[in-house]
Structure 1
Amino acid sequence: RRPKNFPPGPSRYPILGVFCLGNYPERKMRKWSKQYGPVMSVRMGRQDWVVLGDYETIQQGLVKHGNAFSGRPSIATIDQITEGHGVLFIDYNDHWKRQRRFGLSTLRGFGVGKRSMEDRITEEVAYLNDAIRTHDGKAFDIQSILSNAVSNNICSIVMGRRFDYDDERFKEIMGRLARGYITLLSVSSFVLQILIFMPALINFPYFSRINGELMEDLLREIVEEHKASYEQDNHRDFIDAFLGEQKAENGAKTFTDTQLLQYVRDLFVAGTETTTSTVRWSLLCLIHNPETQEKLRKEIFEVLGPEKIPAFENKSKMPYTSAFIQEIYRYRTLVPLSVTHMTNEDAHISGYTIPKGTTIAPNLWAVHNDPEEWDEPNKFKPERHLDAGGNFVQLKHVIPFSVGPRHCLGEQLARMEVFIFLVSLVQKFEFLPDPKATVLPDIENGASGAAYVPLPFKIVAKVV
């Protein structure tokens, strides 16, 4: 039985109900919300989740009542990896608040290094462009070298250095990252739903691959190197800043070595796959819409010319580019159901009572595809983000990084990366489909798991 005054929802089947959602649960939930309302309940395994299905209810829950809706549910698959550490998946409490404050203050300086993070990004883009040129106009899959470039930005923050793409330690980091958390992000929604209902399956063949081979040994080695060369008055990177907090605690248990290792893993996972996939979706939209690519390049050349290095401050002078990026965030919602929240106390929303400990799923995809807000939401139209005068309009109904106390820790870094990477790529290359392919790569469907990422595809990068 549902609790008293609990949101309504579709009929619950103790065993089979969870399997009714399919590979795109956000779309099924959007369909159900038309019948049950923007606040509804859905049976997930042994629990009833509450789904927030439009912009107003997400704002009401995650912002207006943010303290009550900012917990994290215990999910066995995640718990087995994190062991209760890090920042992304831990519950909302004083420990999380302290770790969050530390992360924000450290990332605000973009890595506490001597160079700004923007300098590091533009440096990395040059290496990425060189790697693209080696393909000499032949079709290739950009995913691996793009992931290398984005991960190197995280390396700059965390370790104070970048790696050559063929460096053995860097290849090991990327390999373990791909076999670990990235597998969890990209595994199908259907498999994740099975694990929610039967978490013990994580210990069985096939499902156990989701845990993958983690990065702990490599990261511990890097942390030990930092400890050996640590200087109190010269923090080189995120690890040094964390070690400084650790020494200042005088034996307290907040900034532990285990917490540091998991924190760094969270930064790599959240900071690599998301930005990489956003740029890949952008490239897909470019080859599907060549006239859009020409408009982008024209604006980029008008502001920067063919050689000037892009800077984030250029964004204010590039309304069409800004509109393109905002439409990418809307059109291909990368984390459709956000990261699940949990109520820390009994809460009230839209007249319903939500008991403490209830899992909350904000349906960001539904906000980005609301026909009441968007004309033809299933179509890619950057112009929808421009006013009559051609000026960029920052629309509040685009919330790819979520909202409230638990919105994405690295939002500003991600926005900077996407802008500089995209502008530099379009400035230097014309992106074309694989001439050997009979059809364009699929842009309507993606690999839908915890994140919605493009399927593998090949492109041609023709030097402009």
Structure 2
Amino acid sequence: MISLTYFMISLFILFLLCYWHRRPKKFPPGPRGIPFLGVIPFVGAFPERAFAKWSKMYGPVLSVRMGREDWVILNDFQSLNQAFVKQHEAFSGRPPLPIFDQIGEAVGIAFADYGPYWKTQRQFSVSVLRSLSVGDKSFEKRILEEVDSLIEAIRFENGKEFDITPTLKTATANIISSIVLGKRFDYDDDKFKQMLNRSFKYFSNNIEGLMVRIMMFAPKLMSVPPFSLVGRRMVHEFNLTFEIFREIVDEHEDSFNPRHLRNYIDAFLARMKQEDNEHFTLPHLMRSILDLFLAGTETSATTLSWALLCLLHYPQAQAKLRQEIYDVIGPSGAVTMTQKPNLPYTNAFIQELFRYRSIATLGVPHKTTTDVTLNEYFIPKDTKVLSNIWAIHNDSDVWRETDQFKPERFLDANGSFVYSNQVIPFSIGPRYCLGEQLSRMEVFLFLVSMVQKFEFLPPTDDGLLPDINKGTSSFVYAPLHFKIKAREL
């Protein structure tokens, strides 16, 4: 009897293992991990690095089981370009992400699945942002106005050590706020600071951000403590942010003039009033505001934070950057986008910054919209797909000394800037980041203006530098907390 019991248990375990390791015919190879959890226990805090390591064994297109689902990971530029650009119709879907679907009453833009709704929302947002990028309140003018406030905030520290990251987040948030909400906030506005803290803690906080990321891969954990507690708290705090947005939308409705559209909210309200469309409603407006707010703030602020760490760790790069700025613009000249082509080292510095510190290491998840073949592998419809941007930016077959910050890699023998299409911080294909143009302008104008006015130094006189090799393990790879000194020039 006992032998029969052991036999049945062994048979069940064998069946379970066979079922667990089963995969579609010609599906990309890769590790399966353990039943129910897959590879989650083995990827650590930085799954993009584990995926890159596994791609050396299984190839650039690999599959992993996360929780109970198979995910396909694209680890080199050629595979990603083939999928997201050349076969974009098949790879532009967005999978259900329950942890984010709980926020608000609509899906917005960033997490909407590929189809008529997303195309309409994307086309509308691109059109509105394009119209707002020119004229008396162009993107450049809005950024330069905020530059003055940022410079004054840094000057206020009077050369003492301080945490510059909140100041950078406020500055970049104010720009997208002026475009979308039609207003900016003072740097010491408590309500605005609370909104920023609530909105971004889950994108850069090490513990809670990591837990939210895990729940994206394994939604079943949303009902298991302590994940469930973090999920409920995140939804609650985003709802508080929606309350602030709603107050601003109400103000816009009271002062709405269809002949004078001032910002994104006005343009959306005009579309709502023009037609009876289920896709242009107040919940859709609220979620779109949140998407634009998050995308237009965190990436730029985090990139600038990494830039300042690079200035500390590579003082020779800071000196070269400032010398070029002085040669072209002068120590007190006005900074504009027209000067950008005349600053090759600055362009190389920024492009290397995008490569050296990938902010969105795995991008936003995609989903196949149909059965498709990629690199001779068969990928069924509704398969989740991740772009390993970190692996692409650290590909040793493309870049030498990937762990070193070397702007010179993007300069030719004549010192001219060499653009690389394999540096893709905003992804590629139809679902590239909507705020790319704005973010690139912000990074350029803020960085050049700060280096022109200040020398950035270590926080302590002993020269001990903040860590540049460690960052947060969340959706956004941000520096750990650090302080800095800014000596006015």
TM bin (shorter chain): over 0.9
Q: Distance in 2 between matches of 1:333 and 1:212?
A: 29
Deviation at 1:420, TM superposition (A): 0.0
Q: What's the counterpart of residue 291 of structure 1? A: 316
Deviations 1:16-70 (A, max 9, x none): 4211100111110001001111111011111000001100000011001101101
Unaligned runs of 5+ in 2: 1-21
Q: What's the counterpart of residue 348 of structure 1? A: 373
Deviation at 1:257, TM superposition (A): 0.5
Compare 431-440 and 46-55 and name the one that shifted more: 431-440
Task: State the Cα RMSD in Å.
Answer: 1.7
1:213 counterpart = 2:198 = no
1:72 counterpart = 2:94 = yes
1:223 counterpart = 2:249 = yes
1:316 to 331, 341, 359: 341
Contact 1:345-1:357 at 8 Å conserved across structures = yes
Deviation at 1:436, TM superposition (A): 5.4
Q: What's the counterpart of residue 10 of structure 2? A: none
Deviation at 1:191, TM superposition (A): 2.1
Q: Distance in 2 between matches of 1:272 and 1:260?
A: 18
1:204 to 204, 228, 248: 228
Which residue type is aligned with residue 67 of structure 2?
Answer: G
2:211 to 170, 180, 191: 191
Q: What's the counterpart of residue 178 of structure 1? A: 197
Contact 1:367-1:397 at 8 Å conserved across structures = yes
3-state SS of 2:64 partner: strand
Which residue type is aligned with residue 113 of structure 2?
Answer: D
Q: Distance in 2 between matches of 1:383 and 1:412?
A: 24
Deviations 1:293-343 (A, max 9, x none): 010000001111111221112110000000000000000000111111011
Q: What's the counterpart of residue 389 of structure 1? A: 414
2:58 to 18, 36, 40: 36
Contact 1:433-1:459 at 8 Å conserved across structures = yes
1:240 to 229, 247, 266: 266
Q: Distance in 1 between matches of 2:94 and 2:349?
A: 33
Contact 1:336-1:452 at 8 Å conserved across structures = yes
Which residue type is aligned with residue 70 of structure 2?
Answer: D
1:140 to 156, 162, 167: 162
Q: What's the counterpart of residue 268 of structure 1? A: 293
Q: Distance in 2 between matches of 1:13 and 1:285?
A: 40
1:326 counterpart = 2:347 = no
Q: What's the counterpart of residue 47 of structure 2? A: 25
Q: Distance in 2 between matches of 1:439 and 1:212?
A: 40
Q: Distance in 2 between matches of 1:217 and 1:273?
A: 21
**Which structure 2 residues correspond to residues 380-459 of structure 1 after superposition, within 5 A?**
380-435=405-460, 439-459=464-484
Which residue type is aligned with residue 4 of structure 1?
Answer: K
TM-score, normalisation: structure 2: 0.91
Q: Distance in 1 between matches of 2:409 and 2:104?
A: 41
Q: What's the counterpart of residue 33 of structure 2? A: 12
Deviations 1:345-401 (A, max 9, x none): 111100111111110001111110011100111110000000000000001110110
Deviation at 1:194, TM superposition (A): 3.8
Deviation at 1:172, TM superposition (A): 1.7
Contact 1:184-1:210 at 8 Å conserved across structures = no
Cα distance change of structure 1 residues 432 and 203 upon mapping to structure 2, 3 Å threshold: closer
2:185 to 163, 172, 196: 163
Cα distance change of structure 1 residues 329 and 184 upon mapping to structure 2, 3 Å threshold: closer
1:126 counterpart = 2:148 = yes
Contact 1:19-1:194 at 8 Å conserved across structures = no
Q: Distance in 2 between matches of 1:105 and 1:266?
A: 16
3-state SS of 2:65 partner: strand
Q: Distance in 1 between matches of 2:394 and 2:250?
A: 47
Deviation at 1:144, TM superposition (A): 1.1
Deviation at 1:174, TM superposition (A): 3.4
Q: Distance in 2 between matches of 1:454 and 1:238?
A: 31
Larger radius of gyration: 2
Name segments (4+ residues, structure 1) moved above 6 Å: none
Deviations 1:162-197 (A, max 9, x none): 222233xxx323312321354245445752454232
Cα distance change of structure 1 residues 181 and 435 upon mapping to structure 2, 3 Å threshold: closer
Q: What's the counterpart of residue 23 of structure 2? A: 2
Compare 114-123 and 333-342 and name the one that shifted more: 114-123
Q: What's the counterpart of residue 335 of structure 1? A: 360
Q: What's the counterpart of residue 150 of structure 1? A: 172
Q: Distance in 2 between matches of 1:194 and 1:419?
A: 34
Cα distance change of structure 1 residues 190 and 276 upon mapping to structure 2, 3 Å threshold: closer
Cα distance change of structure 1 residues 212 and 299 upon mapping to structure 2, 3 Å threshold: farther
Cα distance change of structure 1 residues 436 and 402 upon mapping to structure 2, 3 Å threshold: same
Q: What's the counterpart of residue 109 of structure 1? A: 131
Q: Distance in 1 between matches of 2:401 and 2:439?
A: 27
3-state SS of 2:253 partner: helix
Q: Distance in 1 between matches of 2:136 and 2:421?
A: 35
Which residue type is aligned with residue 330 of structure 1?
Answer: R
Deviations 1:273-292 (A, max 9, x none): 11000000000000111111
Q: Percent identity?
A: 49
Unaligned runs of 5+ in 1: none
Deviations 1:245-281 (A, max 9, x none): 11111x2211110011111111111111110000000
3-state SS of 1:41 partner: strand
Which residue type is aligned with residue 259 of structure 1?
Answer: H
Q: Distance in 2 between matches of 1:123 and 1:114?
A: 12
Compare 11-20 and 409-418 and name the one that shifted more: 11-20
Contact 1:185-1:451 at 8 Å conserved across structures = yes
